[in-house]
Amino acid sequence: MTPSPARSLALLGSTGSIGTQTLDVVRAHPGRFRVAVLTAQRSADLLVMQAREFRPAVVVIGDEAQYAGVKAALAGQPETTVMAGAAALAEAAARPDVDMVLTALVGYAGLLPTIAALKAGKAIALANKETLVVAGQLVTTLARQSGSAIYPVDSEHSAIFQCLVGEEPDAVEKIILTASGGPFRGRSVQELAQVTRAQALKHPNWEMGAKITIDSASLMNKGLEVIEAKWLFGLTDDQIEVVVHPQSIIHSLVQFRDGSLKAQLGLPDMKLPIQYALGYPERLPNDFPRFSFLDYPTLTFEKPDGDTFRNLPLAFEAMRRGGNAPCVLNAANEIAVAAFLREQIGFLQLPEVVENCLSRVSYLAEPSLDDYVQTDAETRRVAAELVK
């Protein structure tokens, strides 16, 4: 078989958890991938180290105050252009020498560069679920118009994607997203009132960044994944179900119209869905640890506790309302999580901030991109007042 040419990658958010694991996958497959773009928001030292190893055409530091330092550090690397700021991020994502853009940015920040990449016809490996949460209809429409493929990197959505290969879209009855339940599964409201930042950052199964780890603890992460799944797979609101599966071995399932189910299983390791997205349609070999049923003789499932973990039903409500409601949900949550990580608010205040913003921010049924930008800004102002 003739080897495939190296796929040129723009890695947006290269210094975070997904970004560093993506570079592990690239290292494991020499000659299969070429890193054309590396970006980071603030982690300048690590970005410089990555740039020296992978020698990309472009490096972007989001924090413009660190531009001079990064440029000086890479002065001896003339093949690498150093840029800074949000506009540079979008420009780098649309470069003609890029085949695929992996968006591993945290939160709303992923939206505009992903849109720029889609307009340029790039394939997207999507690890930034907020892009579809905030503007799912707009983003999927752009993808259809440009012919860009979106390959999910979230483990749950990668599982659904893998289960759907070779299936007709109208054969799907529903999808079932699995959730670990986070570190506080089974806790009461009274117990949640006492949890600390340090406790919330200890996920039982996955190694992730701080923001997504808190979202997992509050079940907001699963709520965001529900909205993302709707747009990724063209589903109706009632075709999506969530089941708590504490072992995180079954990453998600598809139920078909004949009643049969397909599930994708594997150890909880984000490098697996990253590799699948980067290599698709090929399944690339690796030497990662293998799953054995003998190591997991019992796999359990339970209904999520929406009365205690209110972020999940709030996300379903925002999805059903549509329009700019998911954008409000996301922006309010980002402000609330940041405040919780600064220990300004308690764990139980996370859904309170979101619920307040959903009721106070103006609703728009058919928002434009400018409307999304304005909704995000308005929500952040309202949420910031609530967490003072």
Mean pLDDT of all residues in 266-271: 94
Integer Cα distance of 10 and 366 in angstroms:
31
How many beta carbons lie within 10 A of that of residue 295, not counting itself? Answer: 10
Integer Cα distance of 201 and 246 in angstroms:
17
Sign of the Cα torsion 49, 50, 51, 52 reads positive
The label of the residue with tokens 């490996």 reads 125
- Clarify whether residues 104 and 177 are in a common domain: no
pLDDT digits (tens, 9 = 90+) for 356-371: 999 999 999 999 999 9
With respect to residue 344, please indicate whether it lies within any of the assigned structural domains.
no
- Clarify whether residues 38 and 121 are in a common domain: yes
Mean pLDDT of all residues in 53-61: 98
- Clarify whether residues 130 and 169 are in a common domain: no
Question: What is the structure's pLDDT at 203?
Answer: 80
With respect to residue 318, please indicate whether it lies within any of the assigned structural domains.
no
With respect to residue 33, please indicate whether it lies within any of the assigned structural domains.
yes
Mean pLDDT of all residues in 376-387: 98
pLDDT digits (tens, 9 = 90+) for 154-197: 999 999 999 999 999 899 999 999 999 999 999 999 999 999 99
Tell me what the pLDDT averaged over the chain comes to: 95
Is residue 136 within 8 Å of 227, Cβ to Cβ?
yes
Integer Cα distance of 355 and 328 in angstroms:
10
Share of the chain above pLDDT 70, in %: 99
Structurally, the chain folds into a number of domains equal to: 2
Q: Which residues contact 76 (CB under 8 A, 6 or more apart)?
A: none
- Clarify whether residues 121 and 251 are in a common domain: no
Range of the domain at 254: 157-191+220-311
With respect to residue 367, please indicate whether it lies within any of the assigned structural domains.
no
pLDDT digits (tens, 9 = 90+) for 5-49: 899 999 999 999 999 999 999 999 999 999 999 999 999 999 999
Residue type, 91: E
- Clarify whether residues 129 and 164 are in a common domain: no
Look at residues 179, 157, 154 and name the one whose alpha carbon lies nearest to residue 270: 154
- Clarify whether residues 111 and 180 are in a common domain: no
> 273: which 2 tokens?
């869905």
Q: Coil, strand or helix: which one is 150? A: strand
With 60 as the cut, is the pLDDT of residue 2 above it? no
pTM: 0.93
* Sheet containing strand 250-256, strands side by side: 240-244, 172-179, 250-256, 261-265
With respect to residue 201, please indicate whether it lies within any of the assigned structural domains.
no
**If you write DSSP's letter for every residue of 341-367 in order, what string do you get?**
HTTSS-TTHHHHHHHHHHHHSPP-SS-
Integer Cα distance of 215 and 227 in angstroms:
14
With 80 as the cut, is the pLDDT of residue 206 above it? no
With 90 as the cut, is the pLDDT of residue 202 above it? no
CB-side neighbour CA atoms (13 Å) of 244: 17
pLDDT digits (tens, 9 = 90+) for 300-316: 999 999 999 999 999 99
With respect to residue 27, please indicate whether it lies within any of the assigned structural domains.
yes
With respect to residue 356, please indicate whether it lies within any of the assigned structural domains.
no
Taking every pair of C-alpha atoms in the chain, what is the biggest distance, in angstroms? 62
At 107, the pLDDT band (50, 70, 90 cuts) reads: confident
Helix ranges (H only) for the chain are 17-28, 44-54, 67-73, 86-93, 111-119, 130-146, 155-164, 189-192, 197-200, 210-218, 220-233, 271-279, 311-321, 325-341, 349-360, 369-386
Look at residues 322, 159, 164 and name the one whose alpha carbon lies nearest to residue 231: 322
Q: Which helix (H) or strand (E) holds 124?
A: strand 123-126
Look at residues 120, 96, 124, 118 and name the one whose alpha carbon lies nearest to residue 12: 124
At 83, the pLDDT band (50, 70, 90 cuts) reads: very high
Question: What is the structure's pLDDT at 109?
Answer: 87
With 70 as the cut, is the pLDDT of residue 1 above it? no
- Clarify whether residues 171 and 255 are in a common domain: yes
With 90 as the cut, is the pLDDT of residue 207 above it? no
- Clarify whether residues 167 and 144 are in a common domain: no
pLDDT digits (tens, 9 = 90+) for 120-144: 999 999 999 999 999 999 999 999 9
Question: What is the structure's pLDDT at 3?
Answer: 57
CATH of the domain at 41: 3.40.50.720
- Clarify whether residues 164 and 109 are in a common domain: no
With respect to residue 115, please indicate whether it lies within any of the assigned structural domains.
yes
